[in-house]
């Protein structure tokens, strides 16, 4: 385990010291960036037990990285998944290491009005009537813009889009890594996923790539 931890930290430090003048990126969530900067601590923090499709279980980020296989489908796993989103962020930091200076999304990139809900799976799909549905279209003023977030929260539902990482590469569309928190509070449905989106200039919308 020590060898794996050392290798991970060396890779992260190496990425931090390398210059990437052709790529511009921003960690948008300061809380996530702080945890990524403290990667050695985050790797070994105990987390709820997560069962994988290959039958193994993991309980921290270090174990999560070493095991292959998807997450087994169960109510307990769906709830535990939220604690492992930061592990995925640590992995991304090998390519886009944390740096000083944050960023707010431009108004025309608002998650409430510019993120296409039809492009990925979630519990709101039965309510959608158009191919370019957004949270603002579905919920109006109930969809609240935050700092790089959009949330619809009430007694029955908690649906949050949290933009974590924005990447701008030469001659490529902007892409953004978003945590999607999807909870139906008066039922057992829970989903916590990290989704990549690209910005479609022709539609002025964020479109999921998966």
Per-residue confidence (pLDDT) for residue 110, from 0 to 100: 87
Average pLDDT score, the chain: 87
Closest alpha carbon to 139 in 121, 160, 108, 163:
160
Higher pLDDT, 148 or 108: 148
Q: Which two tokens stand for residue 22?
A: 């052709």
Per the CB < 8 A criterion, the answer to whether 143 and 135 are in contact is yes
21, 10, 61, 9: which is closest to 169 by C-alpha?
21
Residue 107 binned pLDDT confidence (cut-offs 50, 70, 90) = low
pLDDT surpasses 90 at 17: no
pLDDT at 71 over 70: yes
Residue 20 pLDDT exceeds 50: no
Burial of 184 (0-12, 13-18, 19+ CB in 10 A): middle
Q: What's residue 19's pLDDT?
A: 43
H-type alpha helices, 39-159: 39-44, 61-66, 75-80, 85-92, 111-114, 135-139
pTM, whole model, 2 decimals?
Answer: 0.85
* Mean pLDDT within 63-90: 90
User: Is-contact 179 151, C-beta < 8 A?
Assistant: no
């Amino acid at each position: 385990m020590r060898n794996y931890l050392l290798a991970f930290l060396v890779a992260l430090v190496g990425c931090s010291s390398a210059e990437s003048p052709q790529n511009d990126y921003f960690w948008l969530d300061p809380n996530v960036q702080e945890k990524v900067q403290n990667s050695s601590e985050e790797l070994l923090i105990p987390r709820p037990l997560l069962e994988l499709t290959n039958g193994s279980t993991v309980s921290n980020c270090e174990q999560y990285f070493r095991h292959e296989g998807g997450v087994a489908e169960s109510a307990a796993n769906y709830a535990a998944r939220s604690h492992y989103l930061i592990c995925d962020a640590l992995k991304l930091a090998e390519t886009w290491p944390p740096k000083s200076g944050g960023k707010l999304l431009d108004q025309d990139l608002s998650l409430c009005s510019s993120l296409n809900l039809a492009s990925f799976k979630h519990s709101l799909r039965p309510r959608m009537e158009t191919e370019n549905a957004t949270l603002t279209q579905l919920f109006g003023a109930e969809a609240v813009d935050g700092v790089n977030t959009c949330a619809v929260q009430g007694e029955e539902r908690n649906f949050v889009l949290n933009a974590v990482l924005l990447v701008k590469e030469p001659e490529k569309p902007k892409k953004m890594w978003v945590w999607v928190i999807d909870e139906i509070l008066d039922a057992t449905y829970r989903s916590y996923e990290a989704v990549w989106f690209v910005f479609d200039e022709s539609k002025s919308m964020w479109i999921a790539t998966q």
